[in-house]
């Protein structure tokens, strides 16, 4: 049975909170869904991102994630796919002639699932996430206590909880922000162009990422 060190847990939670508060592709995706589809879809996007992290926690705990650290080809393929996906999101946002940040009717059955899967893909197609987990989580594992896999799952669960709460905070904050700012179509379109540029910048940054 695991007996977590409280000081280590507090240190881990502090580090994860700072990391989760740092805006990235996940926050940008949540912002785009919150602005274009409303608070409900922002929440769905947040849970989609958390589900993607669950996948990486499982991969890390079973050690498969090391493949991406030591196999340049595997890392390059995942990096290329992830950058392509981010570039697609950027292109769609930047070149759209209609504001996607205006309140629209998104009541179709498939839209919620599409938003959820988009959150998963935003996380899973980012190789920097798996590299983060296989280098960050083990630092807080105490091998003298045994049950290394259980410790990794425990730490991963704390990370997911922290990340989900932070992302939900972003959803509700951005939803309020939308109501105050995006009544103007010009402002909405300008923000949409900026979002497209940021997605493109993230895609370029991902392409330049090193496997080690």
Domain assignment present for residue 140? The answer is yes
Given pLDDT bands bounded at 50, 70 and 90, which one contains residue 174? confident
Residue with tokens 């920097």: 128
Residue 90 near residue 198 (C-beta atoms within 8 A): yes
Residue with the larger pLDDT of the pair 159 and 90? 159
Write the DSSP assignment of 63-89 as a string of letters. Answer: TTTHHHHH-HHHHHHHHHHHHHHHHHH
Given pLDDT bands bounded at 50, 70 and 90, which one contains residue 109? very low
Domain assignment present for residue 11? The answer is no
- The predicted-structure confidence for 38-70, as pLDDT tens digits, reads as follows 888 999 999 999 999 999 888 887 876 666 667
Residues 6+ apart with CB under 8 A from 82: 125, 126, 127, 206
Write the DSSP assignment of 41-61 as a string of letters. Answer: HHHHHHHHHHHHHHHHHHHHH
What's the pLDDT at 186? 72
Nearest to 210 by CA among 83, 87, 84, 79: 79
Residue 129 C-alpha from the chain's centroid: 8
Domain assignment present for residue 187? The answer is yes
What's the pLDDT at 211? 52
Mean pLDDT of all residues in 105-109: 44
**Structural domain of 106:** 24-207
What's the pLDDT at 206? 66
Residue 131 near residue 74 (C-beta atoms within 8 A): no
* CA–CA gap between residue 143 and residue 136 (Å, rounded): 15
Residue 134 C-alpha from the chain's centroid: 16
Mean pLDDT of all residues in 78-85: 75
SS3 assignment, position 18: helix
Domain assignment present for residue 147? The answer is yes
- The predicted-structure confidence for 192-206, as pLDDT tens digits, reads as follows 787 778 778 877 876
Percent of the chain with pLDDT over 70: 71
- Output the average pLDDT for the chain: 76
Residue with the larger pLDDT of the pair 132 and 11? 11
From residue 134, alpha-carbon distances to 13, 112, 113, 124, 172 in Å are: 17, 31, 29, 14, 31
What's the pLDDT at 164? 93
Please state, as a whole number, how many other Cβ atoms lie within 10 Å of the Cβ of residue 171.
Answer: 24
Domain assignment present for residue 8? The answer is no
**How many structural domains are present in the chain?**
1
Domain assignment present for residue 72? The answer is yes
């Amino acid at each position: 049975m695991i007996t977590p060190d409280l000081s280590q847990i507090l240190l881990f939670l502090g580090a994860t909170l700072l990391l989760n508060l740092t805006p990235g592709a996940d926050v940008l995706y949540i912002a785009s869904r919150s602005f274009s589809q409303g608070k409900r879809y922002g929440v769905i996007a947040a849970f989609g991102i958390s589900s993607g992290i669950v996948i990486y926690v499982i991969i890390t705990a079973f050690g498969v994630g090391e493949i991406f650290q030591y196999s340049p080809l595997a890392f390059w393929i995942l990096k290329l796919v992830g950058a392509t996906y981010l570039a697609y999101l950027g292109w769609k946002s930047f070149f759209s002639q209609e504001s996607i940040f205006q309140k629209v009717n998104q009541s179709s059955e498939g839209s919620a699932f599409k938003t959820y899967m988009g959150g998963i893909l935003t996380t899973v197609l980012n190789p920097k996430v798996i590299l983060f987990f296989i280098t960050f989580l083990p630092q807080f594992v105490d091998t003298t206590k045994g049950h290394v896999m259980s410790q990794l799952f425990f730490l991963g669960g704390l990370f997911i909880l922290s990340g989900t709460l932070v992302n939900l905070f972003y959803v509700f904050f951005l939803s309020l922000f939308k109501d105050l700012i995006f009544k103007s179509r010009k402002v909405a379109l300008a923000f949409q162009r900026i979002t497209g540029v940021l997605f493109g910048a993230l895609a370029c940054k991902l392409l330049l990422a090193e496997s080690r």
